[in-house]
Chains A and B, each alone.
Chain A
Amino acid sequence: MSLLSNFELAESRKKQLEGLPINPTGVVLEKIVSPTEALINGKIVILAGTNNYLGLTFSKDCIDAGIRSLETQGTGTTGSRMANGTYSGHLELEREIAELYSMPYSMVFSTGYSANLGTMAALLDENNAVLIDSEAHASLFDGCRMSGAEVFRFKHNDPSSLEKRLQRLGERANSTLIIVEGLYSIRGDCAPLREFAELKESYNSYLLVDEAHSLGLYGRYGRGLADQLDILDKTDFIVGTFSKSLGTIGGFCVSKHPQLGLFKYSSRPYIFTASPSPAVIASTRSAIKLMKEGDHLRKNAWESARNLHGALESIGLDLHPIPSPVIGVSFQSEEVAIQFWNILLESGIYTNLILPPAAPGGGAVIRCSVTAAHSVEQINKIGACFKSIAKELGLSKAA
């Protein structure tokens, strides 16, 4: 077998996607009009498939901070955090994140992906076991693989499935890391973190929560779901990303364990990559400030979430029953989902199409997300489009 035959699978996937009327992985945002609108195929569409939950991408504070930093500190650091890439802004941001969580230490990484890789690579080795939610993000699995730890999955959001596996691990449970997310990004369902935290306490294990999608939306100051459910003190590691609610790029890990301060000496994804550019750090610091003071932003995002969820539910579409700013509509048939998604885009609504095997539970998902920046009119329009397309395709309750 030749080396390049490894690409046969990718080639066939590409052909399949290119056979669709619009390739969902090939959408280009030709011009960004605002946090909620962009030009796609020459037409202005409403963006209902981003992760811009607080709508901060065009915040004046964040843009001004970025510009000031670009002008005074240049375009990039050109180096690793362990060499010439630590500017005072990086340290300030780490201090501010630690302060936000009232924890002693935090670490900033160049992306959310590398925060997960870097945290797991430093924390775990071949002697540790990991119990990971079966629907956890790829970066969490990749981090585990990089660390060499033994990886066991448990059923998605299922405390009894986790407990059985903790039992079977016996004494090893003491050095086992449980890995879950807060808000899951496709269906918009939340982890039963209280139950998970109780289990981790009774088996003396460790708990890591990835708040990538819950940051900004849940908890006091937008600290995430662990805070909202009052289990921050039982959570050993929180990881998150700047690329969603904060509207920039980068990632972090924050912990009550002072050992986190030593991670940087052994975390390859932290050491062997350039540090975030100073402008990104400056915008992120402004965004965190706005997130902390952002109760009004959360209120908007949640109002839109409840409105859209209610509208889609009344049509009779298959949704997670509890509203959140991520609303995943499940379809049994991949073909129907593709058709639905295409008509949505033609009607001026951009959503995310998630096809098997990426979609949880088989089938396909049209993922909508709402932001603090969406207007009531935009949310109504999204709901109305869903309604008429569902009727057209014979999917609504009344049909």
Chain B
Amino acid sequence: MELAEITKTVISLARKVDEKNITLTPESALVADLGLESVQIIEFLCEVEDHFDIVIGEDSLADVVTVSDLAELVYHLSREKKL
């Protein structure tokens, strides 16, 4: 799957947990903009992992702020899996 497509999918998964009903863009910040509590973030990440059939380590999340950061991480993890 290409990055653009992954970004779209991540946005659609995030929409399910977006309580503030904001317009999500790749630049939306997961915590600050979506207003997610840590519990929801974990649920959301589990959804993302299950959708793409990957596992995301805690450490690799340190640099993830926006939807597009997460999409890039998913992109790399999905490619690693195929190699």
Q: How many chain B residues have a CB neighbour from A under 8 Å?
A: 17
Of chain A, the residue at the smallest CB distance from B19 is A362
Is the beta-carbon distance between A155 and B43 smaller than 8 angstroms? yes
Is the beta-carbon distance between A168 and B37 smaller than 8 angstroms? no
- Our count of residue pairs bridging A and B at CB distance below 8 angstroms stands at 46
Residues of A within 8 A of B55 (CB): 152, 165, 168-169
Residues of B within 8 A of A153 (CB): 42, 45-46, 58
Residues of B within 8 A of A361 (CB): 39
Is the beta-carbon distance between B46 and A155 smaller than 8 angstroms? yes
B5 on interface, CB distance cutoff 8 Å:
no
Mask of A355-386 contacts with B, CB within 8 angstroms, 1/0: 01101111000000000000000000000000
Is the beta-carbon distance between B58 and A152 smaller than 8 angstroms? yes
A-B contact pairs, 17 of them (CB 8 A): A134-B39, A134-B42, A151-B57, A151-B58, A151-B59, A152-B57, A153-B42, A153-B45, A155-B42, A164-B49, A164-B50, A165-B55, A168-B53, A357-B37, A359-B39, A361-B39, A362-B40
A125 on interface, CB distance cutoff 8 Å:
no
B6 on interface, CB distance cutoff 8 Å:
no
Of chain A, the residue at the smallest CB distance from B45 is A153
Say yes or no: A362-B57 contact (C-beta < 8 A), given A153-B42, A154-B46, A161-B46. no
Of chain A, the residue at the smallest CB distance from B60 is A150
Residues of A within 8 A of B45 (CB): 153
Is the beta-carbon distance between B38 and A357 smaller than 8 angstroms? yes
Is the beta-carbon distance between B58 and A357 smaller than 8 angstroms? no
Residues of B within 8 A of A168 (CB): 49, 53-55
Interface residues of A (CB under 8 A from B): 134, 144-145, 150-155, 161, 164-165, 168-169, 356-357, 359-362
Say yes or no: A357-B59 contact (C-beta < 8 A), given A153-B46, A155-B46. no
Residues of A within 8 A of B46 (CB): 134, 153-155, 161
Residues of A within 8 A of B42 (CB): 134, 153, 155
Residues of A within 8 A of B56 (CB): 152
Say yes or no: A150-B37 contact (C-beta < 8 A), given A161-B46, A164-B50. no
A361 to B40 Cα, complex, angstroms: 8
Chain A interface, DSSP helix/strand/loop, else mixed? mixed
A161 to B43 Cα, complex, angstroms: 11
Of chain A, the residue at the smallest CB distance from B38 is A357
Interface residues of B (CB under 8 A from A): 37-40, 42-43, 45-46, 49-50, 53-59
Is the beta-carbon distance between A362 and B59 smaller than 8 angstroms? no
Residues of B within 8 A of A151 (CB): 57-59
| Residue of B40, B42, B46, B49 with most chain A CB atoms under a 10 A cut-off | B46
A223 to B52 Cα, complex, angstroms: 40
A145 to B49 Cα, complex, angstroms: 21
Is the beta-carbon distance between B57 and A150 smaller than 8 angstroms? yes
Residues of A within 8 A of B59 (CB): 150-151
Contacting residue for B39 out of A144, A154, A169, A357, CB 8 A: A357
For the complex of A and B, the 9 pairs showing the least CB-CB separation, nearest first, are: A151-B58, A357-B38, A150-B57, A134-B42, A152-B55, A168-B55, A362-B37, A155-B46, A356-B37
A15 to B43 Cα, complex, angstroms: 29
Closest Cβ–Cβ distance, residue B40 to chain A (whole Å): 7
Closest Cβ–Cβ distance, residue B46 to chain A (whole Å): 5
Residues of A within 8 A of B38 (CB): 357
Closest Cβ–Cβ distance, residue A152 to chain B (whole Å): 5
Residues of A within 8 A of B49 (CB): 164-165, 168
A134 to B49 Cα, complex, angstroms: 14
